[in-house]
Amino acid sequence: MFHREAGVFKTTYASDMALYPLPIAKWTMVGLAVLFAIVLPMTLEEYYLSILNLIFIAVVGALGLNILVGYTGQISLGHGAFMSVGAYTAANLAVRLGLPFWLTLPAGGLMAAFIGALVGIPSLRIKGLYLAIATLAGQLIIEWTINHVPAISGGAQASIEVPRPDLFGLVLNTQFRLYFFLLFFAALAIIATLNLIRSRIGRAFIAVRDQDIAAEIIGINIYRYKLLAFAISSFYAGVCGVLYTYYFGIANYEAFQLIVSIDYLAMIIIGGLGSVLGSIFGAIFVTLLPIVLRILLENVGLLIFSESELANVISGTRLAVFGGLIIFFLIVEPEGLNRLWRNIRSYFRVWPFSY
Amino acid sequence: MSEDFGFFIALILNGVSIGLMYSLIALGFVLVYKSTDAINFAQGEFVMMAALIGAVVVGFNVSPIVGAIAAVVIVLAVMIGFGFALERVVLRPLLGRPIVAVIMATIGLASVLRGLTPIIFGGETRALPLPIPDDPVVIGPATLPPIQVLGAGVAILLFVGFNWFFKKSRMGVAMRAVADNQQVAQAMGINVERYFALAWAMAGIVSALGGIVWGSMLGVDVQIAVVGLKVFPVVILGGLDSIGGAMIGGLIVGLVESLASGYLDPYVGGGTKDFAPYLLMILVLMVRPYGIFGKRQIERV
């Protein structure tokens, strides 16, 4: 990730597909692992850990959406709803049956995968705009159902309180403990995605994205792979929803509305479509943006706005800056932050002797 | 029996008038899609913007009639300008890019508008009173709020107007040519980019009128943009590129909503109105994705 290559010396496909192109890349990974697993949790305060925790959750969701949008070329405006499916499945299982998180988490993911594949069925016949509208309808219908069926939503305010997960008797009730819990799943999601993309399935996804007719001609069953992409992507979304639920200790449909679907789309567009690193960049960026904006506005905004207006202004600015960034990146840098990162790297590749 | 029948008729009439108001908003979407193949996910926010500007103008409290006329004129001017500017700044750089990019750009735009309006105009709900009588209009067994009747009237007028425009006027024919085949249209000497801008400006006109009518009915705040989500069932039912389809789709959605809330709400405890149109839309997408009147050129996968 940070090394500079002297050139491209790959002679086999296997070396081209390798996760670690050079031994030093492996050491970078080890370094990052040490940084995140030991150095950061030991040094950072509770508040910063909570931000990192939110980023970890967002990484899982962004990776999932990127598999669908970036790699398979479909579009989904329903990922917020898929998250809520995972969240409510896990919350119901945890509260009613008292199941531990290592059962509710995959259960939430699988349920979301099932519903996601169901919503993805229109993708077999339609694409582009029509698919966007169909998934939008999915989002609205799922939101409505959860809100109106007390058997799912637990009645009042459509929210269910969930006990904190416990690991071998250790209750994960502080940011510090949750940090390792969430770090594990974020790392798992990153590794799983990296490997999924270099597998047969991942290449089929990319083929479907690039040219679906050509993909079908070379023997890829595009129906199966499109549904699979929806299912895998929604599985990630479901897991992300479960993690949110455990993190906040409550499953609430308001945390998974249409705006969340759009936030995640913003993440992968700003970060970079079709790139794992981009998903991570996007998750970091989109999670940090409102925090930075709030700090900025709380300090500067009081000069212009009154105290009572400020809350409005902050949420409004957040929306506006988000939208503006989406448009900006679409027009100026469609490949997102990932591309900027690559540009920086390729600049330094031959530095200081350009040409 | 006759009371039941009266209830039914009342629901139908209410559905028709609301439906026509939906199709008013859907019209803006269809105009843009028909001529530029771009999808406007910000249609609801256009309407919100128009309604807010209208409310601000009316809020100056000159005489009601002058205020209303000023509101219509100013909103129309602003929205037309906005349509042109938008096409130039956001949509033109995205020409020839995948459709997902255009969808996301308009979603981003919706987000910008939704974020900026409460900052500029404040978060409170404003009234947008129009100089029309307050008494409900009684048609047979139904009583309709006058604003619904006005909205339906505006919708019908716009439909007649745009129908004439596309069938008879030189500009309208050129616009249809652009929609049909951009390269051939360009070869015939039509300035394609100008007609793209024109289409967005026309969407601005429709949103301006829609915003004033809807704003007057619901009161004006950010929530009014939610009406934009109703556009999708309407245009999918009617066909994305058909003006008549937008009208019929609006009528169907209005009727479905009205009947569902009249007959189903007592059983499930309310809210079917927000739900039934989307269910219907999903069914239509599965069976006949190009809608009732749309062109059958949808790309099969």
Q: Write the pLDDT tens digit of every residue in A298-329.
A: 777 667 766 667 777 777 888 888 889 989 99
Query: Peptide bond before B131: cis, by omega within 30 degrees of 0?
Result: no
Mean local confidence (pLDDT), A137-141:
88
Q: Write the pLDDT tens digit of every residue in A39-56.
A: 888 888 888 999 999 999
Say if A149 is an interface residue toward chain B (CB within 8 Å). no
Phi and psi, residue A187, nearest 5°: -65, -45
Say if B226 is an interface residue toward chain A (CB within 8 Å). no
| The pLDDT of residue B96 is above 80 | no
Type of residue at A328: F
Query: What are the residue ranges spanned by the domains of chain B?
Result: 2-130+147-287
From B70, B56, B43, select the one nearest B202 (Cα to Cα). B43
- Two structure tokens written together for B74: 């100013």
Q: Judge: A126–B289 Cβ closer than 8 Å, yes or no.
A: yes
C-alpha span between B33 and A169 (Å, rounded) = 58
> Can you give the pLDDT at residue B301?
45
Instruction: Return the minimum-mean-pLDDT range out of A60-74, A240-254, B119-133.
Output: B119-133
Written as one string, the DSSP assignment of A25-79 is HHHHHHHHHHIIIIIHHHHS-HHHHHHHHHHHHHHHHHHHHHIIIIIT----S-H
Q: Judge: A123–B122 Cβ closer than 8 Å, yes or no.
A: no
Q: Write the pLDDT tens digit of every residue in B29-70.
A: 888 888 887 888 888 899 998 988 888 888 887 777 888 888
Instruction: Report the first-to-last Cα separation within chain B, whole angstroms.
Output: 50
Instruction: Give kind and range of the element (H or E) at residue A145.
Output: helix A129-148
Search chain B and give the residue with CA nearest A317: B115
Phi and psi, residue B210, nearest 5°: -60, -40
| The pLDDT of residue A145 is above 90 | no
> Can you give the pLDDT at residue A46?
85
What residues of A are in contact with residue B114 (Cβ under 8 Å)? 316, 319-320, 323
Mean local confidence (pLDDT), B119-143:
77
> Can you give the pLDDT at residue B260?
84
- Two structure tokens written together for B64: 């009601």
What residues of B are in contact with residue A265 (Cβ under 8 Å)? 104, 107
Mean local confidence (pLDDT), A284-311:
80
Let me know the angle formed at the C-alpha of B104 by B56 and B182, rounded to the nearest 5 degrees.
95
Instruction: Return the minimum-mean-pLDDT range out of A293-297, B274-278, B294-298.
Output: B294-298
The average confidence (pLDDT) of chain B is 83
> Can you give the pLDDT at residue A168?
76
Q: Are B271 and A144 in contact (CB under 8 A)?
A: yes
User: In terms of C-beta distances under 8 Å and separation of at least 24 residues, what long-range contacts does A203-211 make, across chains too?
Assistant: A205/A67, A205/A71, A205/A72, A205/A229, A206/A71, A206/A72, A206/A274, A208/A72, A208/A73, A209/A71, A209/A72, A209/A73, A209/A274, A210/A73
Written as one string, the DSSP assignment of A84-134 is HHHHHHHHHIIIII---HHHHHHHHHHHHHHHHHHHHGGGGT--THHHHHH
Mean local confidence (pLDDT), A329-343:
88
> Can you give the pLDDT at residue A188?
94
Say if A334 is an interface residue toward chain B (CB within 8 Å). yes
| The pLDDT of residue B298 is above 70 | no
Residue A147, CA distances (Å) to A1, A47, A88, A253 in order? 44, 32, 11, 7
Residue B134 distance to chain A (closest CA, Å): 34
> Can you give the pLDDT at residue A284?
94
- Domain B2-130+147-287: assigned CATH number: 1.10.3470
C-alpha span between B95 and A238 (Å, rounded) = 35
Say if B283 is an interface residue toward chain A (CB within 8 Å). no
Outline where chain B has alpha helix (H): 2-36, 43-58, 64-86, 99-121, 146-168, 170-180, 182-187, 192-218, 231-238, 243-263, 265-268, 276-287
From A131, A136, A111, A112, select the one nearest A121 (Cα to Cα). A131
Mean local confidence (pLDDT), B221-246:
83
From B256, B203, B171, select the one nearest B26 (Cα to Cα). B203
Search chain A and give the residue with CA nearest B240: A130
Search chain B and give the residue with CA nearest A335: B101
Q: Judge: A324–B229 Cβ closer than 8 Å, yes or no.
A: no
What residues of A are in contact with residue B37 (Cβ under 8 Å)? none
ipTM entry = 0.83
pTM summary value: 0.87
- Local confidence band at B245 (pLDDT 50, 70, 90 cut-offs): confident
